[in-house]
Structure 1
Amino acid sequence: MVGTAKTARATWRGRTAPLVPGLAAALAAVAVALAVHAVVPLLPAMTIAVVLGIAAVNLPGTAALCDGALRAGLNFAGKHLMRAGIVFLGLKLSLADIAGLGWVTVALVVGVVLLSFAGTYALGKLFRLDGDLPLLIATGFSICGASAIGAMAAVRGTRHADTVLPVALVTLCGTLAIGVLPLLMNPLGLDALRFGQWVGASVHDVGQVVATAQTAGSVALSAAIVIKLTRVVLLAPIVGVAGGLERRRHALRGAALPGGQGAAAGKFPPVVPLFVMGFLAMILLRTTGWLPAGIVAAGSTAQDVALGAALFGLGASVRVRQLFKTGARATAMALCSWALIAALAFGAVHLMGS
């Protein structure tokens, strides 16, 4: 019995020890990102984390570390801490806040998400992007950035390496929004409320929404957050539909083999991954109002740490030289999608006020 326990501990250490350096580096990067954000609120902490990761893997002094001792932990953070961050993201959502928008506004937001998803996916096919890239970019751009990309990749069984480019693109376009959208507020004749609604309906990541909307004051920020979180709720049904279709595809492919061997032997992907169920459970908990404010605040901090570490890990897989060579078409497609979503959201905002 004692020998078995010692063997189990040794096995556990053997599996976790390679992860420690990379996880420690990711957590240190999150601390730096949060500190910079505290000093310069206009810079979202999650964007800073991605940039730090990209810098780490492309600078001569740290590139070897990212490819060597840190790699196992960085990959773990990019995959598993992303999922943990999605669960904690649910604590930011209350169905009561969304219901307070009214059914017309909610319907318009849902319409923007669905049209954005379909339009971006069509653009991906038009630009002849490979594999799951059109689907991942469509999910990230239309719903909630890197978190949505991670959730969709899980149900599709997409390789971790194939999520790197979509995350880089959603970070690029979200960062552009922070600088460009506030400049368009007055030329487009938007007051603070309408500007906040436009930002919430069009900008990809929650942190990028906050950074963009706060330039127009508290009214814009409040409107942007509620609209954005309404989009985030749609993560679960869209991922669920994708999971169901993927499961059906596996079943059909397995049934086509002699004697249905594939259906028996193949591993079916989950319709809704466990971490997405956790995300929904957190939304319901927040909606009940039972959770003390301290727990909600702690959950928000946990989400920042988990997502920040995950984004640093993903950023540390982005080779700038390779990105320029292989990602030109994807970048052009992403910019077209960004313009499409901004236009759809702008139209929806005017319908909200009519």
Structure 2
Amino acid sequence: MSSVAPASRTTLPWLPGVVVAGLAALAAWGIHWLVPAVPLLTAAVVLGIIVGQLPFARPAVTGILKPGLSTAAKRLMRIGVVLLGLKLSLGDIAGLGWVSILTTVAIVLVTFVGTMWLGRLFKLPGHQPLLVATGFSICGASAIGAMSGIVKSKDEETATPVALVTLCGTLAIFVLPVLWHPLGLSTLQYGHWVGAGVHDVGQVVATAQIAGSAALAVAIVVKLTRVLMLAPMVAIASVVERRRNVEPDPAAKRPPIVPLFVAGFIVAVLVRSFIPLPDVVIDGADTVQTALLAMALFGLGTAVRLRTLLGTGWRALAVGLLSWVLIAALALGAVWISS
């Protein structure tokens, strides 16, 4: 009996952390069910941040749970991103019209470059400018997790951008509906603005649903068009990373030109576009994808250290808020151009 337990701990060191992440995802679902205005994925990140600050939980988070939480934050995140592709078809994108498509792509590119510049201007450390730019311009914490896997950033380095994109996305849920009527936007224009300017898919749903099903439908299609930009942006980052990390040892491992999970994401989009899938398959994939991303975001949330963020993170907070204002303004301009 005594010889079996150590072996199981050795062969499955990730199991305790993954189980805890799964339980946290269930708790986040419960919060979302009780308070529908709180997106499930946002609840998962916030739960992770809270757990990461508890003194009695921190030894477990940095000890026995760490391998599993890291597995959730990286591997489960990638699987979730692949399944995210099944939400989007090329027909949905074409239905937006070429003006909306071009402005959506332009918003992603300008926000990405602008946020990168802000991150460097405010001297954010390491890969944080890249990760913040990816999260704010494309699809929030999911994009940050995908990009962090390419640049091999540490969980602690990834945690601050995740916290920022969660904060600003949550602010959008409350701020954008207040500005809807004063800006003179129609229902469909409001949905377009939300889809182009809010970060995570769950935050988009929570912000757009207040204007009805038509606004929500437009918001989701515009948002998922932004998600599609994740593939080329990550692929470009992978190429840059390969060139930066040229090792003298030819056997040294370098990032792939097109990461496997990015290829999987593209395949999933093509499958949804050209193969008629039963609703049960699409709904099942959506449920699994949401669960995996919730587990991943809980894992990333546990790496946030609020004391460090509050003590040295004012620069990161400034970059996040400025980037949030930038993308909201660009998205509003795109709505007016497309109308």
TM-score if structure 2 supplies the norm length? Answer: 0.95
Structure 1 match to 2:124: 129
Which amino acid is the alignment partner of residue 309 of structure 1? M
Assess, with a 3 A threshold, how the Cα gap between structure 1 residues 98 and 12 changes in structure 2: closer, same or farther: farther
The equivalent residue for 1:264 is: 250
In the alignment, structure 1 residue 225 sits paired with structure 2 residue 220: yes
Structure 1 position 37, deviation (Å): 1.1
**Segments ≥4 residues shifted beyond 4 Å:** 9-12
Q: 1:345 aligns with which of 328, 331, 334?
A: 331
**Secondary structure of 1:129's partner?**
coil
Q: How does 1:231-246 map to 2 (within 5 A)?
A: 231-246=226-241
| 8 A contact 2:208–2:215 mirrored in 1 | yes
Distance verdict in 2 for CA 1:12–1:239, change over 3 Å? farther
Which position in structure 2 is the counterpart of 1:189? 184
8 Å Cα contact 1:91/1:296 also seen in 2: yes
Does residue 1:59 correspond to 2:59, yes or no? no
2:289 to 286, 293, 303: 303
Equivalent-residue separation in structure 1 for 2:27 and 2:222 (angstroms): 29
1:285-344 residue CA offsets vs partner (Å, 9 max, x unmatched): 111132211111111011111000011111111121111112111011110010011001
Q: Secondary structure at the match of 1:60?
A: coil
C-alpha separation between the residues in 2 aligned to 1:153 and 1:67? Answer: 19
Deviates more, 1:198-207 or 1:160-169: 160-169
User: Is contact 2:44-2:297 (8 Å) kept?
Assistant: yes
User: How many angstroms apart in 2 are the aligned matches of 1:51 and 1:16?
Assistant: 30
Q: 1:259 maps to what in 2?
A: none
Deviation at 1:11, TM superposition (A): 10
Which structure: larger Rg?
1
- Out of 206, 209, 213, the position equivalent to 2:204 is 209
SS in 2 for 1:145: helix
How many angstroms apart in 1 are the aligned matches of 2:331 and 2:132? 18
Contact preservation (8 Å) 1:118, 1:138: yes
CA-based RMSD of the aligned residues comes to: 1.8
CA pair 129-92 structure 1, distance change in 2 beyond 3 A: same
**Which of 193, 196, 208 is equivalent to 1:198?**
193
Contact 1:79 1:160 survives alignment (8 Å) = no
Give SS of 2:250's match: helix
For 1:247, give the aligned amino acid.
Answer: R
Q: Does 1:112 align with 2:110?
A: no
Q: Is the 8 A contact 1:236 1:276 kept in 2?
A: yes
> What corresponds to 1:68 in structure 2?
63
Deviations 1:138-182 (Å, cap 9, x if unpaired)? 011000011111221222222233111111111111011001111
Q: Percent identity?
A: 55
Q: What's the CA shift for 1:203?
A: 0.5
Kindly indicate whether residue 76 of structure 2 is the aligned counterpart of residue 81 of structure 1: yes
Q: 1:281 Cα shift?
A: 1.0
Give the whole-Å Cα distance in 2 for the aligned partners of 1:12 and 1:227: 49
Contact 1:154 1:273 in 2 (8 A): no
The unaligned stretches of length 5 or more in structure 2 are none
Secondary structure at the residue paired with 2:45? helix
- How far, CA to CA, are the matches of 1:349 and 1:15 in structure 2? 55
What SS is found at the alignment partner of 2:303? coil
Say whether 1:273 aligns with 2:268: no
Question: Is the 2:156–2:304 contact (alpha carbons within 8 Å) kept by the matching residues of 1?
Answer: no
CA distance, structure 2, for counterparts of residue 330 and residue 15 of structure 1: 38
Q: Which runs of 5+ in 1 are unaligned?
A: 1-8, 255-261
More moved, 314-323 vs 153-162: 153-162
Q: Please say if residues 214 and 221 of structure 1, whose CA atoms lie closer than 8 Å, have aligned partners that are also in contact.
A: yes
